[in-house]
Chains A and B, each alone.
Chain A
Amino acid sequence: QQQVKQSPQSLIVQKGGISIINCAYENTAFDYFPWYQQFPGKGPALLIAIRPDVSEKKEGRFTISFNKSAKQFSLHIMDSQPGDSATYFCAASPTGNTPLVFGKGTRLSVIA
C-alpha cells in the first residue's frame, strides 16, 4: 500500500528552468513532510521539510508548497542547474516516533 504517491517518475528540465515534483497522501495523521535528495552512488540526504502549519517554505532555490485541504505537497526548484540532477524523494510521517514513508522517487535531469 503506497501511502505517498509521487510524480512524475522522471523529469527533464532545461538549465535555468523550474523543476516541479508533486506528492499526494491520504493519511490525515501525517504532519511532517520532508524532501530528500540523492546523488548517484550516495545515500539520500535531507533537503528541506515542512509542517502543515505553514503553506510554503523556502530555502534558497528550493521551495515546498503545501496544500493541506488537497493533501498534496510539492517541491519547486527555481533556476535549475545541472548540479541539481539527482533523484528526489518526498516523505511523510505522523508526529512522534513513527518512521518516514517515502514516495517512489523522481529522477531529475537538468540539461544545459
Chain B
Amino acid sequence: DAGITQSPRHKVTETGTPVTLRCHQTENHRYMYWYRQDPGHGLRLIHYSYGVKDTDKGEVSDGYSVSRSKTEDFLLTLESATSSQTSVYFCAISGTGAATNEKLFFGSGTQLSVL
C-alpha cells in the first residue's frame, strides 16, 4: 500500500475514552489525510496536513484532532469517543504531482468500534 502503515488495524473502545490512530508513511509525501468511510456516506474528509505542523479541517472534523510533528507520521485523536465515531478510518498520502490531488494513496484502514 505505497508505504503507508495504519495502526492499529482494529480497535474496540468504550464511549468517553480517548483514542489515537496512527498513520506512518515511508514515501516522504508532503500531504496526508484522514478519511472516514461509512455505509451510505462514502469517504468523508476529517482533517488533512500539508506539511509538518500544518493542518486543516475537513467536512467532518468535530470531535477529532490531529497532529503532525514529523513528515512521516500523522496522528488522529478522538478526544472522547462516541458511538457515532464507529467507522473505518483511512489514511491517505499524496504529493507526487504539482497539486495534492494528482494521486492519493490509501492505507489499509482502521476498523474502530466504540461501544
Measured CB to CB, the residues of A under 8 A from B are: 6, 9, 32, 34, 36, 41-46, 89, 93, 95-105
Indicate if the CB atoms of B106 and A44 lie closer than 8 Å.
yes
A78 to B69, CA, bound (A): 46
A104 to B42, CA, bound (A): 4
CB-defined contacts of A93 to chain B, threshold 8 Å: 101
Indicate if the CB atoms of B42 and A97 lie closer than 8 Å.
no
Indicate if the CB atoms of A44 and B43 lie closer than 8 Å.
yes
Interface size on B, residues (CB 8 A): 25
A43 to B5, CA, bound (A): 11
CB-defined contacts of B104 to chain A, threshold 8 Å: 36, 44, 46, 100
**12 residue pairs A–B, Cβ–Cβ below 8 Å:** A41-B109, A43-B108, A89-B42, A89-B43, A93-B101, A96-B100, A97-B50, A98-B100, A99-B45, A99-B100, A102-B42, A104-B40
Within the complex, what minimum Cβ distance (angstroms) separates B4 from chain A?
8
Measured CB to CB, the residues of B under 8 A from A are: 1, 31, 33, 35, 40-45, 48, 50, 58, 90, 92, 99-101, 103-109
- With A43-B92, A97-B31, A97-B50 as known contacts, state yes or no: A102 contacts B43, CB within 8 Å: yes
CB-defined contacts of B100 to chain A, threshold 8 Å: 96-99
A34 to B104, CA, bound (A): 10
CB-defined contacts of B58 to chain A, threshold 8 Å: 99
Q: Most chain-B CB neighbours within 10 Å: which of A42, A97, A105?
A: A97
A103 to B105, CA, bound (A): 17
CB-defined contacts of B103 to chain A, threshold 8 Å: 34, 46
Which secondary structure characterizes the binding site on chain A? loop
Query: Quick one: which of A99, A102, A103 contacts B48, CB cutoff 8 A?
Result: A99
A41 to B109, CA, bound (A): 8
Within the complex, what minimum Cβ distance (angstroms) separates A61 from chain B?
20
CB-defined contacts of B92 to chain A, threshold 8 Å: 43
Within the complex, what minimum Cβ distance (angstroms) separates B7 from chain A?
14
- With A97-B50, A104-B42 as known contacts, state yes or no: A45 contacts B101, CB within 8 Å: no
Chain A residue at minimal CB-CB distance from B42: A104
Indicate if the CB atoms of B101 and A43 lie closer than 8 Å.
no
Indicate if the CB atoms of A103 and B42 lie closer than 8 Å.
yes
